[in-house]
Copies of this chain bind each other. A is one copy, B any other.
Amino acid sequence: MTDTHAYKQLEALFHKIHNLRHLASMAHWDSATMMPPGGSEARGEALAEISSLINDLLGSPATGELLERADQARDRLSAWEQANLREMKREWFNASSVTSELVRRHAIASSRCENAWRSLREQNNWKDFQPLLSEVIELTREQAAMRSDASGLSPYDALLNLYEPGQLSSQLDAVFSRLKAFLPSFVMHIAEQQKADVLVQPAGQFPAEKQKALAMELMEAVGFDFQHGRLDTSHHPFCGGVPEDVRITTRYSNNDFSESLMGVLHETGHAKYEQGLPRKWISQPVGRARSMGIHESQSLFQEMQICRGQAFLQFCAPLMHRHLGNGQTPDSCWDADNLYQLYNRVKPGYIRVNADEASYPLHVILRYELEQDLISGSLKVADIPEAWNEKMQAYLGLPTKDNYRDGCMQDIHWTHGMLGYFPTYTLGAMNAAQLYQAANQSITSLDEQISRGDFLALNQWQAENIWSWGSYHSTDALMQQATGEILNPDHFIRHLRERFTPA
């Protein structure tokens, strides 16, 4: 076997894995949107089967040997093929650094913990939740140790690298400490200032089908391709499916249109990234999204940088009035200035997913600090509530003593051992601000285009600078090429100042 032949065999293997992942993705989407309750057990088994099948294909010693052989002939590969080979190795490395036995035990414990969490959170029942979470955290620590042994990274960084390849917590610490120095007083200041605003609250009934019609019109306007995707309803909004057929979801509240609409536009940002990935490489690792931090940058670019901004709300206001305006809500509610105030309220709260743009990073930093301590062992699961309470008071002035439901039991991530994921939300927010600034400098009169509902130049800029590159570049190289520098939190801080300080 020649060595380029080995590379071709790997491409065929990853093409096969892409096809199998397609079925797994669609079954996941179906579970959240369509499946009747009685179908869940069989579905769980089917998904476990395909996961283990994919893991076996991916992490096998045979794949490792092929990778070695292909590596010896890397000089004969094109630049994209070389990048693909690098990403293949990364996937193989992640799959093969932990034992299948540990993966299996981790999956079982996570599934048990997550299922219990659904009712225990409702009941504010930390006592029964704690031992289940302890088991998951223990197994996650074991996994982190194995990944650390294999990679040479610290245990926490080894987890972080699953979601944000190349990211080190030492770099994160520096960036997050800037935010920690700035945000708590900024949040308090803006929240105080906004108390004087005169705001027309939307009231009345907003039937789901009207909200959906508006959402779909806006999705189409900003460039979602309905030939390759759908919008549906699920309990927790998400972006799923495959790049060729992206499935996003939302949930509608009859009394409040605002939450669902921005949620849809957020997921649309994720979706446009998936739809814009390089078609030629779609079945290969290099054709996948770069990282969770870049993925979140695209959803927050759409939601925070564009859709909650003045220009977009000018475009959006008449459409909102047309679709939703025949309730009891007064017409002045549909004024772009009023909508801007409505969509940019700063108010410290308990719940991360409901947080405003300025408070959000503090929720993330809190979790980031606690999960580092959980992995190092300096924090015991039993002591999470106390640590949570302390940090919430310090960062947002809100005590959470005895309030587990709205405190340390609010998120699903830790129940299935996804430690190292939270930082990517704020990496995304910072990347988004930096990318928007670069786009704004490169496109003449961008605001004016947006206010007319013209997203052509902007989408083209994102396609050229982010989407079409897949995983060809590292995150740093991608940001460098798109914005002229690697991640720099100044842009995010400037964005917050501009957004929340009256002109």
Q: Quick check: which of A184-192, A223-231, A255-263, A426-434 contacts chain B, the rest being far away?
A: A223-231
> B227 near A37 (CB under 8 angstroms)?
yes
Counting CB contacts under 8 A, is A49 at the interface?
A: yes
| Cβ–Cβ < 8 Å partners of A53 in chain B | 20
Across the interface, A26 reaches (CB within 8 A) one of B26, B37, B48, B245, namely B26
How far, in angstroms, from A238 to B285 measured CA to CA in the complex? 37
A19 (CB) vs chain B CBs: closest residue: B49
| Cβ–Cβ < 8 Å partners of A42 in chain B | 22, 242, 244-245, 282
Across the interface, A23 reaches (CB within 8 A) one of B35, B50, B282, namely B50
How far, in angstroms, from A27 to B23 measured CA to CA in the complex? 7
A212 CB to nearest chain B CB (Å): 15
> B27 near A46 (CB under 8 angstroms)?
no
> A30 near B26 (CB under 8 angstroms)?
yes
| Cβ–Cβ < 8 Å partners of A20 in chain B | 46, 49-50, 53
Counting CB contacts under 8 A, is A36 at the interface?
A: yes
Across the interface, A24 reaches (CB within 8 A) one of B23, B48, B227, B229, namely B23
Q: List residues 30-44 of chain A with CB under 8 A from any CB of chain B.
A: 30, 34-39, 41-43
A33 CB to nearest chain B CB (Å): 9
A39 CB to nearest chain B CB (Å): 3
| Given A19-B50, A49-B16, A230 and B26 contact (CB-CB distance below 8 Å) | no
> A38 near B227 (CB under 8 angstroms)?
yes
Q: How large is the interface on A (under 10, 10 to 19, 20 to 34, 35 or more residues)?
A: 20 to 34
Counting CB contacts under 8 A, is A75 at the interface?
A: no
Counting CB contacts under 8 A, is A197 at the interface?
A: no
Counting CB contacts under 8 A, is A45 at the interface?
A: yes
| Cβ–Cβ < 8 Å partners of A242 in chain B | 39, 42
How far, in angstroms, from A342 to B322 measured CA to CA in the complex? 45
| Cβ–Cβ < 8 Å partners of A43 in chain B | 22, 245
Q: Assuming A34-B34, A38-B244, what are 9 further A-B pairs, CB within 8 angstroms?
A: A20-B53, A22-B43, A36-B227, A36-B228, A36-B245, A39-B245, A42-B242, A42-B244, A42-B245
